[in-house]
Amino acid sequence: MVPFVDMRRSFLIAGSLGAALVGTLACGDDGGGDMNPPQESVSDGTTDRFGIVDLSVAAGTGVAGFDGAALADRWTVRHDRLLVAVGTFRFTAADGAEVTHEASGVVDLLQASSPALLAAVNVPVGSAEVGFSLPVATSRFSAIGSTSAADLELMASNGYSIYIEGTITRKDGMTCTGDAPPVCTPAPEVRFRWGVPVGLDIDDCPTLALGEGDMIEQVLTLTGDRWFRTDFADDAEPTLRAQWIANADTDRDGETTLEELERLPAGTLLRSDLGYDLRRAAPIAVTTARDFVEAQVRMMARDAFAGCKTVSAL
């Protein structure tokens, strides 16, 4: 088995992930041997040859929230909790040998404005395909960085992979239903607390190229803007809206729940005349408003390492 080193360090190696990315991993020409050989070191006959991948996790765009100027409908967004369970990181060489690191922990993204180091992993020199998972948390998981014991317990006891909690506020905010004309009631603040009980596996990420002694920083960057986007595109400057969260509060109690979202057709709440596109590039079929949240969570996971292409349920 290829060894790995998992060591906490008091500093992060600066560097650009983009400079470490190369083309897709070429297929070997070993004559069609075992596709899953035992893990073994890449060696020159006398010395094992490795590079080091520093794995860390960091908060990206919108994790804390947005002011009203950032959203097309002028709602202000505040995230009070944004928790993510991180699982297995995989590095697969051309001959099929695999090095893994089991993070098995919960990250509080509100406390991760600077990257939190997960591990320094020895990876054999050459090209390595990258993949990772955001599984549902269990009692075996630990708190990473500044994650509190209460947040760890919340994730583990409910089996969440991601938990999102916050509010949208607007002084003249309304909750509206219908459109001919809409029936609206005042709603200056609407809360949301959404736990996603679906683990995700992300693959087809850009290949790393490691030389002997290389040290590469691989940062898992998780954003908080996806559920406010109007589509599933990779636009650098997406349109953001939050009115749909207010409108989904069908019982007018000041909180929009996943149960309410599950009962609402996505096309009725997220209308095309407001710029919503629920089909193009969607990772799952979006039938209900809850499907929209879960689809955007998948996009958040896929985007965590720039260039990954595949996200699927564990």
Which residue, 226, 234, 149, is CA-closest to 194?
226
* Statement: residue 29 has pLDDT above 80: no
pLDDT mean over 304-312: 94
CB-based contacts of 45: which residues, under 8 Å, 6+ apart? none
Two tokens at 246?
Answer: 């207010």
* Statement: residue 7 has pLDDT above 50: no
pLDDT in tens, 37-61: 433 334 344 347 899 999 999 999 9
CA–CA separation, 57 and 86 (whole Å) = 9
Which residue, 86, 83, 104, 88, is CA-closest to 154?
83
* Statement: residue 214 has pLDDT above 90: yes
CA–CA separation, 288 and 8 (whole Å) = 43
The pLDDT of residue 15 is 36
* Statement: residue 72 has pLDDT above 70: yes
With a pLDDT cut of 90, the percent of the chain lying above it is 79
CA–CA separation, 243 and 75 (whole Å) = 7
Cα 118 to Cα 101, 183, 192, 222, 265, distances in angstroms:
9, 50, 30, 15, 40
pTM score: 0.84
Task: Give the lowest-confidence range in 42-46, 93-97, 132-136, 219-223.
Answer: 42-46
CB 227 within 8 A of CB 297: yes
* Statement: residue 19 has pLDDT above 50: no
Q: What angle do CA 228, 195, 290 make, to 5 degrees?
A: 55
Task: Give the lowest-confidence range in 39-53, 92-106, 173-187, 190-204.
Answer: 39-53
The pLDDT of residue 94 is 85
| Domain ranges, ordered by start, for the chain | 18-24+49-313
pLDDT mean over 225-240: 95
With a pLDDT cut of 70, the percent of the chain lying above it is 85
Q: Would the CA dihedral through 231, 62, 187, 254 be positive or negative?
A: positive
The pLDDT of residue 31 is 41
The pLDDT of residue 179 is 81
pLDDT mean over 62-66: 98
pLDDT in tens, 241-270: 999 999 999 999 999 999 999 999 999 999
pLDDT mean over 209-235: 95
Question: Which has more confidence, 35 or 291?
Answer: 291
Give the chain's mean pLDDT.
87
CA–CA separation, 99 and 210 (whole Å) = 13
* Statement: residue 149 has pLDDT above 80: yes
Which residue, 46, 55, 63, is CA-closest to 162?
63
The pLDDT of residue 236 is 83
* Statement: residue 280 has pLDDT above 90: yes
Model confidence band, residue 13 (pLDDT cutoffs 50, 70, 90): very low
- In the block, tokens 């983009």 appear at 18
pLDDT mean over 284-295: 98
